[in-house]
Each structure stands twice: as C-alpha cells, then as structure tokens.
Structure 1
C-alpha cells in the first residue's frame, strides 16, 4: 500500500467513524427531544396557572415567552435532527425506528399549524397540534421500543416483528417510507412557502379574528 492509499484509507475511516458517531448521537437524543416536546405541550395548563399566580406582569410575560420559545425551538430541533431518516444510506446502515420519517412529518405539520393558525388561543388548532404530536410520538416510540430496543432480547415471532420495525434489518420498507416522508414533507413545505408568500410574513387576519372570538 502506497502512502497516498494509506492516507486516503485513514481519512475515509475517520469520516465514516465521525458520521456513525453523529448519527448515533442524534438517534440517542431524539427520544429525549420527543419526551420533552410532549411534556412541554401537555404542561401548558400548568404554565397558564403559574402565570395567573404572578403578581408582576413582567414576570408572567417572561415565563410565557421562555415557555413558548423552548417548546417551539425543540420542535424545530426535532425536525432538523430527523432529517437522517430521509437518507437511504443512513436508514439502511443504522438501527433506527422504521417510521421515524413519518414522525418528523408530524412534527413539521405541527409547525405548519403554528404558522397558519394559533394553537395557543384557538381550541381547534390546539387539538390538531396535540393530535399530530401524539401520532408522531406513536410513530417514533412504538418502533423504537419494540424494534430498536427489543431487537436483541426477543425471540420467535416477536423477533420477526422487532426486526421489521428496525430500518437496517428491513431496508426495503425503510427506503420506501423514507421517500413517502420526503414527499409529504415537500407538500407541507410548499404549503408553508405559499402561505408565507401570500401573507408576506404577517399573521392572517382571519386567524387573528378567530383567535379573538374564541378567546372571548
């Protein structure tokens, strides 16, 4: 082996190891991100109750701003971290939840509702956001728990089901669902882009009036 070939082999090994480390870190962090997202979303009544107890208006406003900023930032982070489910070489190599891409689509759908509507004041938008987060969590945690985490501890029929729910042991379904997720994400992205261009980045007056009427 020539020095150039040795150097190239070392560089390829370092790149492959770094890629595996990054993907493994994202896969390990996503369940925590999902749990925190669900916890913050379901904690909204508690936050509102805490705000009502504040005697200083500034403190209440700061608490609400921190809450919604952290909640929405984690949803955005979850979508970005889930992009690895859209790459065929990643899902066929790593042990990932089979429907993780669909879970990312549900997260992006929740962001779209926050863009078009107002889940914090409109009950219909809040219920729709809750439904999307619940479906997305099911898409992620069911194959993660029954597939990725149980793949090496079950046997028989359960082992076949567990292997089916893992992307690396079920590459055909993994790649197919990845393409479906990309198509759905593209549709939602086109809707978001069209809405932003139509409204010029400003809130929809219809949504504002509906929110005001529902608040009253």
Structure 2
C-alpha cells in the first residue's frame, strides 16, 4: 500500500466514523426532543397557572416568553434533526424508526399551523396542533420502541414485526416513506412560502380578520 492509498483510507475511515457518530447522536437525541415537545405542549395549563400566581407582570411575561421560545425551538430542532430520514443511504444503513419521516412531517404541519393561525389564543388551532403532535409521537415512538429497541430481544413473529419497523432491515419501505415525506414537506413548505409572501409575515392582520369575522 502506497502512502497516498494509506492516507485516503485513513481519511475515508475518519469521515465514515464521523458520519456514523453524528447519525447515532441524532437518533439518540430525537426521542428526548419528542418527549420534551410533548411535555411542554401538554404542560401549557401548568404554565398558565404559574403565570397567574406572579405578582410582578415582568416575571409573568418572561416566563411566558421562555416557555414559548423553548417549545417552538424544540419543534424546529426536531424537524431539522429528522432530515436524516430523507436520505436513502442513511435509512438503509442505520437502525431508525420506519415512520420517523412521517413524524417529522407532523412536526412541520404543527409549525405551519403556528404560522397561519394562533394555537395560544384559538382553541381550534390548539386542538389541531395537539392532534398533529400526538400523531407524530405515535409515528416515532411505536416503531422506535417495538422496532429499534425490541429488535435485539424479539423472537418468532415479534421479530418479523420488529424488523419491519426498522429502516435498515426494511429498506424498500424506508426509502418509499422517505420520498413521501419529501413530497409532504415540499407541499407544506410551498404553502408556508405563499402565505408569508401574501401576508408579509404580519400575523396581526390575520388576527384582526379573525376577530372581525367572529364579531359578525
């Protein structure tokens, strides 16, 4: 082996190891992100109750801003980290939840509702966001628990189900669902772009319109 070949082999090994480390870190972090998102969303009544107990308005406003920022940043982070489900080489190599891409689409849909509506003031938007987050959690945790985590201990018929729910042992479905996720994200992204261009990002216009319709 020549020095150039040895150098190339070392560089390729380091790159492959770094890629595997990054993908493994994202796969291990996503369940925590999902639990934090669900906890913050469902804990909204507790935050509102805490705000009512504040005697200083500034403290209540800061608590609400921190809560909103943390909740929405986690949702955005979950969408970004779930982009690995869109790459065929990743899903066919790593053991990932089969429907993780669909879970990311649910997160993106929740962001779209937050952009076009106001879940913190309108019960309909809040319910839609709750349903989407619940559906996304099912899409992620069911194949994660029954598939990825149970794959090493399952036997018999359960092993077949477990392998079906893991991307690396079911590459055809994994790649197909990845393409479906890309289409869903593209459609919702186009809707978000068109809405932003039409409204100029001024959410108060939409709120005023909804209030005037409600009065009528």
Say if 2:47 is the partner of 1:47: yes
Which whole-Å deviations, capped at 9, do the CAs of 1:116-158 have from their partners, x for residues lacking one? 0000000000000000000000000000000000001010100
Say if 2:163 is the partner of 1:163: yes
Structure 1 residues not aligned, in runs of 5+: none
Say if 2:11 is the partner of 1:32: no
Residue 23 (structure 1) aligns with: 23
**What is the CA-CA distance between 1:203 and the residue it aligns to?**
1.1
- In structure 2, what is the Cα distance between the partners aligned to 1:164 and 1:207? 45
Distance 1:11 1:193, change over 3 A: same
**What SS does the aligned partner of 1:93 have?**
coil
Residue 65 (structure 1) aligns with: 65
**What is the CA-CA distance between 1:206 and the residue it aligns to?**
3.6
Which whole-Å deviations, capped at 9, do the CAs of 1:141-200 have from their partners, x for residues lacking one? 000000000001010100000000000000000000000000000000000000000111
Residue 152 (structure 1) aligns with: 152
Q: What's the Cα RMSD here?
A: 1.3
TM-score norm. by structure 2 comes to: 0.96
**What is the CA-CA distance between 1:208 and the residue it aligns to?**
3.9
**What is the CA-CA distance between 1:56 and the residue it aligns to?**
0.3
- In structure 2, what is the Cα distance between the partners aligned to 1:23 and 1:73? 20
**What SS does the aligned partner of 2:203 have?**
coil
**What is the CA-CA distance between 1:201 and the residue it aligns to?**
1.4
Residue 93 (structure 1) aligns with: 93
TM-score norm. by structure 1 comes to: 0.96
Structure 2 residues not aligned, in runs of 5+: none
Residue 201 (structure 1) aligns with: 201
- In structure 1, what is the Cα distance between the partners aligned to 2:130 and 2:210? 19
